[in-house]
Amino acid sequence: MVSKTFIAIVIGLVALGVGLWAIVASQTPPAPIAVPGVAVGNVFTYSIKGFAVLTVENASIPQSFSELNMTEWYRVTITNVTGPEVQFNTTWRFINGTEIENMGNVNVLTGADNKIFWAIYPANLTLNDHVSPGGSDEAIVNETETRTYASVTRETNVMTLQNQFVDTSDPQRTVNDYLYVHFDKTTGMLVELRDMRLYSDPEVILTTEQLLISSNVWVVS
């Protein structure tokens, strides 16, 4: 016959196990970590070019897109880094000497930004890591490779995205967007971007290319 003491011990152990499980199950999972790889004073300068392919005679190119090829350079200067938040100034200089100044910010944890310059990511991401670990964006690092820009070789992460949306200037027109982003693994900073947009009816292909041409973080000629 099983003693009452033994039964009491078993019941106590079961209750303890249930209690421990409840504690573990109720704990909030640890928040993802995203550390910026840039620092105050870092400067990154890019070239910007636009390429258009018109498949029919009545197609046109937006004025804003045509102005891309009037760019002399586009510069991003990091002004503040607090936790995952990165703040910066941008200068868009045109061939005629005019400049457009802006202040921007990106949260490398959530991917949130103020639409000035968004291509800054956490440092040291690896293959299949989410590029915005704390955001709703499911984009990941699709590839990690060594790439050479001029005479400088850097470890580079690659993110590719495909999306379809409606042209805001013409709701009857759809756009297929193919985005290829290369960013430096150590700093998380953009080094190369190719954004190809295929517009329907009339068919137009607009491709924007942005390439790092100089930085005070490493030598890129």
Helix, strand, coil % (nearest 5) of the chain?
Answer: 15, 50, 40
Asked whether residue 35 is domain-assigned, the answer is no
Q: Are 56 and 203 in contact (CB under 8 A)?
A: yes
Helices H / strands E in the chain, number of each: 2, 9
Q: Look at residue 57 in the predicted model and tell me its pLDDT.
A: 76
pTM to 2 decimals?
0.82
Q: 75-105, pLDDT tens digit by residue? A: 999 999 999 999 999 999 999 999 999 999 9
> How far apart, in Å, are the Cα atoms of 114 and each of 91, 104, 123?
16, 6, 20
Beta bridge partners of 90: 76, 102
Which two three-digit tokens encode residue 136?
């709703």
Asked whether residue 59 is domain-assigned, the answer is yes
Please count the other Cβ atoms lying within 10 Å of the Cβ belonging to residue 157: 25
CA distance 45 to 76: 6
Q: Are 212 and 43 in contact (CB under 8 A)?
A: no
**Given phi > 0 = left and psi -120 to 50 = alpha, else beta, which region is 184?**
beta
Asked whether residue 14 is domain-assigned, the answer is no
Asked whether residue 195 is domain-assigned, the answer is yes
The phi and psi torsions of 17 (rounded to 5 degrees) equal -65, -45
Please give the residue range of the domain that contains residue 191. Answer: 43-215
Asked whether residue 25 is domain-assigned, the answer is no
Sign of CA dihedral 93, 99, 100, 103: positive
Q: Look at residue 29 in the predicted model and tell me its pLDDT.
A: 53
Q: Which residues of the chain have pLDDT under 70?
A: 1-32, 150-151, 219-221
Which two three-digit tokens encode residue 39?
């620092």
Q: Look at residue 201 in the predicted model and tell me its pLDDT.
A: 82
CA distance 101 to 89: 7
Which two three-digit tokens encode residue 81?
């880094």
Q: What is the CATH number of the domain that holds 61?
A: 2.40.360
Which residues have C-beta within 8 Å of that of residue 90, sequence separation ≥ 6? 74, 75, 76, 77, 101, 102, 103, 104, 116, 117
Q: Are 116 and 108 in contact (CB under 8 A)?
A: no
Asked whether residue 12 is domain-assigned, the answer is no
Q: Look at residue 30 in the predicted model and tell me its pLDDT.
A: 57
Classify 199 as helix, strand or coil. Answer: strand
CA distance 99 to 93: 4
Q: Look at residue 61 in the predicted model and tell me its pLDDT.
A: 84
Q: Are 78 and 39 in contact (CB under 8 A)?
A: yes
Q: Look at residue 31 in the predicted model and tell me its pLDDT.
A: 57
Asked whether residue 149 is domain-assigned, the answer is yes
Asked whether residue 1 is domain-assigned, the answer is no
Q: How many structural domains does the chain have?
A: 1
Which residue is associated with the tokens 């639409």? Answer: 115
